[in-house]
Amino acid sequence: MPTPSMEDYLERIYSLIEEKGYARVSDIAEALEVHPSSVTKMVQKLDKDKYLIYEKYRGLVLTPKGKKIGKRLVDRHSLLEEFMRIIGVDESHIYQDVEGIEHHLSWESITCIEYLVQYFQADPVRMAELQRIRQEDEQKEE
């Protein structure tokens, strides 16, 4: 099982490959705001653990295992962002909040959140009712 740090790298590598068709050490370093030497060390570790294949000066390719986990991590991140929107978290806080919680939730909790998101998305009336409850509560506080 990958560590939270490994998950961050796999998620970013998967996203870069989906967006650009490739992921270079410099792209990963820029995206994660770390030094290229840190990326190289992690990429070597991910290679050793068979999440990707890394050839110095030639780049990297995700293995089927790495692709599967990378997609799952990207999907988890997207799901949590959508959940935050549904419950009314200000857009300016969503990314940082998701980054703060995504590694601390079990996959069982993620699945339960997924059901809750589906429940609210299935019926706009439910979304409106949740927003009404929130607005009423905010008015009470004023």
From the annotation, which residues make up the binding site for Mn(2+)? Answer: 8, 11, 77, 99, 102-103
pTM to 2 decimal places: 0.87
Which amino acid, one-letter code, is at 20?
K
4-68 CATH fold = Arc Repressor Mutant, subunit A (1.10.10)
CATH number of 73-139: 1.10.60.10
From the annotation, which residues make up the binding site? Answer: 8, 11, 77, 99, 102-103
Which tokens in the block code for residue 114?
């997924």
Q: Which part of the chain is CATH 1.10.60.10?
A: 73-139
Query: Per-residue b/e over 82-99, b at no fewer than 16 CB within 10 Å?
Result: bbbebeeeeeeebeeebe
Place of tokens 């009423």: 136
Q: Per-residue pLDDT for the chain (142 aa), expressed as one digit of tens each? A: 889 999 999 999 999 999 999 999 999 999 999 999 999 999 999 999 999 999 887 789 999 999 999 999 999 999 999 999 999 999 999 999 999 999 999 999 999 999 999 999 999 999 999 999 988 888 887 7
Q: Which part of the chain is CATH 1.10.10.10?
A: 4-68
- Position 44 scores a pLDDT of 95
